[in-house]
Amino acid sequence: MKKLTVILFLFLFPLASFNEASAQRLTVKNTTIDVGATGYEQPVTATFEMRNKGLRRLVIQSVKPDCGCTKIEYPKEVGIGERFTIKMTYDARMLGHFQKMCLVKSNASKKPFYLTMTGVVKSDFRDYSGEYPIEMGDLLLDKAVLEFDDVNKGDVPEQEIHILNNGKKAMRPNLMHLPPYLTAITSPDHLLPGRTATISVKLLSEKLRDYGLTKTTLYMAHNPGDKVRQDYAIDVATVLLPDMKQFEKENKDLAPQLQMSAKDVDFTDFGGKTKKTATVTLQNTGHSPLKITSLQLFTSGLKVTLSKSEIAPGQSANLKITGIAEELQKLRTRPRILMITNDPDHAKVVVNIKLQ
């Protein structure tokens, strides 16, 4: 009888150990994080993303850094299936490259593991986060939307995009998919880590074919030959004004005159509905027919209809505007509607959509 008991114990013990180990799984997205460059005495934080994929609550017994220069934030307990983070913050009080580690002990395993953060502390480092809020890989940009507004045929306006190399390698940034009416020059064209450059984008209005709004999308490349990435998009909008020479001087009295019931439409509250509609009345108080030659949208999320595009003197038309709540919430630029008319005083009319 004693032999049987011993045999059963030997078979059951490894089975129990296996169940205990498999019941608690802790996954870590990255055990090593490079936080890049920071300035002297400018603390920097690495955030480690983790998840309890075990079958019971995770208890983190301790997280010990390898020196007093690093502070740790972590939860004591984590529920089944829940995601959580462990944060390491280095005080950056020593110049040069650094590697900081912490030892994590939990009930997920008898064996602890290490988390590591690396980076470099520079004496001449500037924090560009406020000036370059847009991140495209290792490039930081101050803007990702260009607007050339109120352009007359023959004008050559210019706008600038300021960029920062936030990586560890030199690069040759450039804009891809330029249409014939745009040029772009990067200076300097060889951008070292931690350095800045300017991309000058010039509009050649003579090469624009149509009056009104023209939109295109450019793509930022870190180096020549890079593949196009949708998350590296630069939106460009141009408004070319029509030629109004026909109504100069004595003919001005004969021109049409546009009056609108509103130039701002309030879409701040949808009342819980998915769509909202507003109507703007357009009236011609002039002495010749008012023509709406172009009606365009700067963004998605809107639908517009015009009851008639030519309005006789003394007559009116309705501009119906429908906003789609879900799409408007995703916009990164302000929604507007552009009208091009033959009224010399209102050749370009913009209807603004208020969202907040």
pLDDT beyond 60 at 22: no
Average pLDDT over residues 52-64: 92
The length of the chain, given as a count of residues: 356
pLDDT beyond 50 at 15: no
Average pLDDT over residues 20-49: 80
User: Which pLDDT score is estimated for 38?
Assistant: 83
**Of 283, 278, 355, which is closest to residue 320 (Cα–Cα)?**
278
Domains 134-241 and 252-354 in one fold: yes
User: Which pLDDT score is estimated for 24?
Assistant: 62
pLDDT range class, residue 245, cuts 50, 70, 90: low
pLDDT range class, residue 351, cuts 50, 70, 90: very high
3-state per-residue secondary structure call for the chain: CHHHHHHHHHHHHHHHHHHHHHCCCEEECCCEEEEEEEECCCCEEEEEEEEECCCCCEEEEEEEECCCCEEEECCCEECCCCEEEEEEEECCCCCEEEEEEEEEEECCCCCCEEEEEEEEEECCCCCCCCCCCEEECCEEECCCEEEEEEECCCCCCEEEEEEEECCCCCECCEEECCCCCEEEEEECCCECCCCEEEEEEEECHHHCCCCEEEEEEEEEECCCCCCCCHHHEEEEEEEECCCCHHHCHHHHHHCCCEEECCCEEECCCCCCCCEEEEEEEEEECCCCCEEEEEEEECCCCEEEEECCCEECCCCEEEEEEEEEHHHHCCCCCCCEEEEEECCCCCCEEEEEEECC
**CA dihedral sign of residues 146, 151, 153, 158:** negative
pLDDT beyond 60 at 200: yes
How do the domains of the chain map onto residue ranges?
26-122, 134-241, 252-354
- In sequence order, what are the beta bridge partners of 158? 202
Tell me which of 24-38, 95-109, 267-281, 290-304 is least confident: 24-38
> Bigger pLDDT: 19 or 121?
121
Name the architecture of domain 26-122. Sandwich (2.60)
pLDDT beyond 60 at 77: yes
- C-alpha 36/C-alpha 42 separation (Å) is 12
User: Which pLDDT score is estimated for 191?
Assistant: 87
Superfamily of the domain at 134-241 = Immunoglobulins (2.60.40.10)
Dihedral, CA of residue 23, residue 111, residue 69 and residue 40, to nearest 10? -80
Q: Which tens digits make up the pLDDT trace of 125-165?
A: 666 666 889 999 999 999 999 999 889 889 999 999 999 99
Average pLDDT, the chain: 87
> Bigger pLDDT: 7 or 192?
192
Whether residue 350 contacts residue 338, with contact meaning beta carbons closer than 8 Å, is answered with yes
The CATH code of the domain at 252-354 is 2.60.40.10
